[in-house]
Amino acid sequence: MTQGEVILRFDEVQFSYGLAKPILQDADFVMRRRAKLALMGQNGAGKSTIFNLIAGILEPESGDIHRASKITIATAKQVIPRDQLSLTVREFFEACFPHKVYNIDPKIDQVLEVVHLVAPKERRIDSFSGGQQARLLLASALIQNPDVLLLDEPTNNLDKEGIAHLTKFLVDYENTCIVISHDSGFLNAFTTGVLYLDVFTKKVEQYAGNYFDLVKEITARIERENRKNAQLAKRIQENKDKANFFGNKGGSMRLVAKRMRQRAETLEEEKVVVRREDKTIRPFTIPAQEGIGGELLRISSFTAMRGEKAVSQTANISLRKNEHLLITGPNGIGKSTLIEALAAGTAKGSTISPAVKVGCYTQDFSTLNLNDTVYDSLSSVARDSTEQEIRSTAAGFLLTSDFIHSPISSLSEGQKGLVSLARLVLQRPGLLILDEPTNHINFRHLPVIASALNAYQGAMVLVSHVPEFVSQIRIDTVLDMEK
């Protein structure tokens, strides 16, 4: 295939999950050889569904998807499926192929070197940190050597070094690549085009340039459409006023009035539907548990990973109400392990006051029962809230009546994140523990979330690899697990 030729085309593609959840309506776009595109859109709009359509995992209800002959496609998903977490590294990579691959170990070594990860082949997947699993996901796609590489939120859980390494890899990458990400800075480093899934029209808009170019073009388009409609509204009103004036004259003037009314109706049809922006979650507050005081959390020691060795470290950290702790360190050092143990009350060297109610946001959404509906999940932590309060809280996180009775397993990863945040609002915890709360979340929502965490008046423990997000939150103490 020659550089620049069309290797995939969506032609009036339509797809939905039942009558209540349309995803695409007559969607059209093209993908060219060696293109590097960003696929963007609101949480739950259907970006991952488009990836599944491209890969042939799903089939359109109508329209056509044209792929170049013998094209190969591989996807690095957002998260490793739970049923694969018990696999060894070798078994995980073997599962990437429909047939047995002999002498696969050298291929594994090669792709692990590309993603900058040391991973013994007999080690279980669930023993790796979230950032290390993100690198394994990328490697699982690369080992297939595809013509088209589909990356779904590849920067989730990656530390600064990991994101820099991935960015350089994509800048130098010679095949076609489409990336779903809410990190606009990361996307702007290597993409030359944007596919934007409009959650309102269900169509895919294609733009040249990076995300900043997209914002400028959309802003200019909205201004043009509003200006055109304002001009048409003025002319419509003028024709209606004339129609009323001549209509009252009687006689032959009534014919003139009729023409004026017809002209007004014609101008009405010329109005355009102004492009709407993605919705943003409403500003919210996480109420802190009342009636508690004194020391809520003490950390006197913790375990950090130094290579393959677990090393005990001493600490002297005490958290009271309205005190915020940030835990930092590179991928694989044990941040998530510490967070999970704190949330479970099993962290050695740490003590949580017995009276404290703990609210936890985990990067793998392990606090959510995927079989629950959204409403059931929220009501399970909202013992003193009315149905109206639960529904109102859900709506603030864009979990409207279309989703409230859907099983959590049917939601996008970003929507699962919004469910987790809504649960914290209803739970009213005294100690808030959050592990990478920006993962999967639309960047439009992040300032709202940061504002809520900054204002939280209970004790808080936060892990995040996003400096811009952390800079908006008051931090009183930092635990650097690397030092």
**Residues 287-332: tens digit of each pLDDT:** 999 999 999 999 999 998 887 788 889 999 999 999 999 999 988 8
Number of Cβ within a 10 Å radius of residue 340:
18
Residues 54 and 182 in one domain: yes
Query: Token pair of 298, please?
Result: 């003490």
Q: Report the CATH number that the domain containing residue 57 is assigned in CATH.
A: 3.40.50.300
Cβ pair 322, 328 in contact under 8 A = no
Strand 6-16 to 22-32 pairing: antiparallel
* DSSP SS3 for 177: strand
Looking at the structure, do residues 203 and 311 belong to the same domain, yes or no? no
Tell me what the mean pLDDT of segment 344-355 comes to.
91
| Same domain membership, residue 305 and residue 400 | yes
**Are both 209 and 303 inside the same structural domain?**
no
Domain count along the chain: 2
Last residue of a domain, one of 214, 230, 258: 214
Assess whether 198 and 306 both reside in one domain: no
In a shared domain, residues 190 and 337: no
Average pLDDT score over the chain: 89
Q: Which pLDDT belongs to residue 1?
A: 46
Statement to judge: residues 473 and 375 lie in one domain: yes
**Rounded mean pLDDT of 19-44?**
89
- For residues 461 and 312, state if they share a domain: yes
In a domain, 171, yes or no: yes
**Which tops the pLDDT comparison, 119 or 451?**
451
CA distances from 287 to 214, 307, 428, 457, 459 (A): 37, 40, 5, 8, 12
Domain that holds residue 367: 297-480
Q: Side chain identity at 292, as an amino acid letter?
A: I
- Residue with the larger pLDDT of the pair 250 and 46: 46
Residue 466: pLDDT band (50, 70, 90) is confident
Report the alpha-carbon distance of residue 414 to residue 200 in Å, rounded: 18
459 neighbors 297 (Cβ within 8 angstroms): yes
Residue 207 tokens, joined: 């733009």
Q: What's the pLDDT at 399?
A: 92
Same domain, 357 and 210: no
Does residue 119 belong to any structural domain of this protein?
A: no
345, 375 contact by CB (below 8 A): no
DSSP 81: -
Instruction: Quote the crossing angle between the two packed helices 160-172 and 130-142, to the nearest 10°.
Output: 10
Residue 394 has pLDDT above 60, yes or no: yes
Domain end: 161, 179, 214, which one? 214
Amino acid (1-letter code) at residue 29: F
Taking alpha carbons only, the member of 455, 399, 454 closest to residue 423 is 399
The answer to whether residues 187 and 306 belong to one domain is no
Whether residue 59 lies inside any domain: the answer is yes
* Dihedral in degrees, nearest 10, Cα atoms 15, 17, 22, 28: -20
Report if residue 236 sits inside a domain: no
Same-domain status, 210 and 304: no
Residue 289 resides in a domain: no
Decide if 19 is inside a domain.
yes
Query: Which residue blocks in 129-252 are alpha helix, DSSP H?
Result: 130-142, 160-172, 184-188, 211-247
- Nearest residue to 30 (alpha-carbon basis) of 57, 65, 60, 76: 65
Among the three residues 164, 192, 214, which one is the final residue of a domain in this structure? 214
Q: Is residue 166 part of a domain?
A: yes
Please state the rounded mean pLDDT for residues 56-69: 94
38 within domain boundaries: yes
pLDDT at 273: 63
| Whole-structure pTM value | 0.73
What 3-state class would DSSP assign to 339?
Answer: helix
Q: Do both 163 and 304 map to the same domain?
A: no
